[in-house]
Amino acid sequence: MQSRTKRLAILAVFAALALGIYGLESLIPNPFPIPGIKLGLANIVTLVVLKRFGIREAALVLTVRILLSSLLFGNGVTLLYSAAGGLLCLAIEFAINSFLKGKALFVTAVFGALFHNAGQLIVALFLTKVINVMVYAPYLGISAILTGLFTGLCAYYTLKLLPRIIRED
């Protein structure tokens, strides 16, 4: 069992890592003419924390990352999109991970990516009040499946490589 201080320090490192990954990813231009397509690499950290620590800790790391990334790299609208997508993503990842009893992390990540995009589409629909934003849904769905597979596999192998020091077992 880890001390509260050590646990908090580990979670802070995870939050900083997620923020750094998000910042680096924000520098990559979107090669597609469809807004909203991203790799979602910061979700690797969220998945790792969810698996190793649990939902409360993953929500804490995610919230810190969303707030700081919106402050540093975005604005209030970015905060709305990130919060809607990120929190919906985490909720479904928790549910799927629980249902699958921690197996098939790539499936968990795919559902997370799909729901992240759904959350962002809902915000876009709410903000623009234009139903045409839903035309992006199939493209975002395809990208979510591909990026979710990638981030899920990255999280799986990251968990395999992490030192025992951060284990909560």
Q: What is the pLDDT of residues 73-84, one digit of tens each?
A: 888 888 999 999
Task: Tell me whether residue 44 is exposed, middle or buried, using C-beta atoms within 10 angstroms of its C-beta: 0 to 12, 13 to 18, 19 or more.
Answer: buried
CA dihedral 13, 16, 18, 21 (to 10 degrees): -120
Other C-beta atoms closer than 10 Å to the C-beta of 134 total 12
Is 60 a domain residue? Answer: yes
Is 82 a domain residue? Answer: yes
> Which pTM was predicted?
0.90
Is 105 a domain residue? Answer: yes
Q: How many domains does the chain have?
A: 1
Nearest residue to 40 (alpha-carbon basis) of 120, 128, 126, 137: 120
> What percentage of the chain exceeds 70 in pLDDT?
95
Is 168 a domain residue? Answer: no
CA dihedral 121, 123, 124, 130 (to 10 degrees): 100
Eight-state DSSP code of residue 129: -
Q: Quick check: 164 pLDDT over 80?
A: no
Is 79 a domain residue? Answer: yes
Range of the domain at 27: 4-163
pLDDT tens, position by position, 136-148: 899 999 999 999 9
**pLDDT reported for residue 169:** 46
Is 169 a domain residue? Answer: no
- CATH code where residue 94 lies: 1.10.1760.20
Q: Quick check: 165 pLDDT over 80?
A: no
Is 109 a domain residue? Answer: yes
Is 119 a domain residue? Answer: yes
